[in-house]
Amino acid sequence: MTRDRLQVVCLSLLIGLAFVLAWQGFAGTKPAGKGIPGPVAVGATAWQMLANPFYSNGPNDKGIGLQLAASLGRLALGYLAASAVAVMLGVTLGLSPLLYRAVNPYIQVLKPVSPLAWMPLFLYTIKDSGQSAILVIFMSSLWPTLANTAFGVASIKRDYLNVASILQLSWLRRLVTVILPAAAPAIVAGLRISVGSAWVAIVAAEMLIGGTGIGYFVWNEWNNLALTSVIFAILAIGLIGVLLDAGLARLSRRLAYTE
């Protein structure tokens, strides 16, 4: 570990320790049950929940592991489907500036719409809350990857495409050997943004649909006034988000190149 990195780690730990101490001090000034619980109480709840994270005592009483697994399952389905569609559309738009200019107004109209705004339509047409949540993930994941893919493909040097034409490569081989590798850094950047948006959206969507999932767990624990469980779930949500982003960030660094 370099000296600069060691200094960053030490400073970060000091900031975290100061925050925890300030949090505990603030919690100690409030009567029991009258304020936000402190880190000691949250830690005790976390220990209990992590000791048996996969229990199931009915639809409204499941362990934190099952709640996170349900959310991650919905995330995977919606995110992977959206990524496949976004990459295919992005490649098509990136290769055709005329088509991109024609479609772009519609993208700009739909992109700012909150994914949760689609939930009533999905529930009305599909009449399945789980599938509706997956479609919310799909909508939240689609636009960043689509925009970045189109930009990455449009930015490919025309010399690469000209060489592929001279070599008379098939369209599929041109896609696999030239277009996708050249646009990969931009595509992964879009995927990285999308996974964060999808993780935020699934938590909010699960608060609306109920059932199993970390979003519903937070809402249910709030209704039970179990604030220590709520805070622990918030920390778990943040940690999962960091791990998802870190995985794609590592992939992005591996794909980055300099000429």
CATH number at residue 229: 1.10.3720.10
Residue 245 amino acid letter: D
In a domain, 28, yes or no: no
Instruction: Indicate whether 257 pLDDT > 70.
Output: no
Q: Stretch 71-91: mean pLDDT, rounded?
A: 94
Residue 48: inside a domain: yes
Instruction: Tell me, yes or no, whether 11 lies in a domain.
Output: no
Establish if 157 belongs to a structural domain. Answer: yes
What is the structure's pLDDT at 234? 92
Q: State the average pLDDT over residues 42-55.
A: 89
State pTM to two decimals: 0.87
Q: Is residue 8 part of a domain?
A: no
Is the pLDDT higher at 173 or at 113?
113
> Has residue 12 been placed in a domain?
no
Report, as an integer, the average pLDDT of 195-207. 90
pLDDT of 61 strictly over 60: yes
The total domain count for the chain is 1
- Asked whether residue 35 is assigned to any structural domain, the reply reads no
From CA 54, how far away is CA 150, in angstroms rounded? Answer: 42
Look at residues 84, 132, 235, 255 and name the one whose alpha carbon lies nearest to residue 182: 255
Tell me what the mean pLDDT of segment 106-115 comes to. Answer: 89
The pLDDT-based confidence of 198 (bands split at 50, 70, 90) is very high
In this prediction, residue 166 carries a pLDDT of 72
- Paired strand residues for 56: 62
Residue 258 has pLDDT above 60, yes or no: no
Range of the domain at 78: 40-255
Contact 90, 150 (CB under 8 A): yes
In a domain, 250, yes or no: yes
Q: By the 8 A CB rule, do 153 and 179 touch?
A: yes
The pair phi, psi for residue 133, each rounded to 5°, is -65, -40
Amino acid letter, 60: N
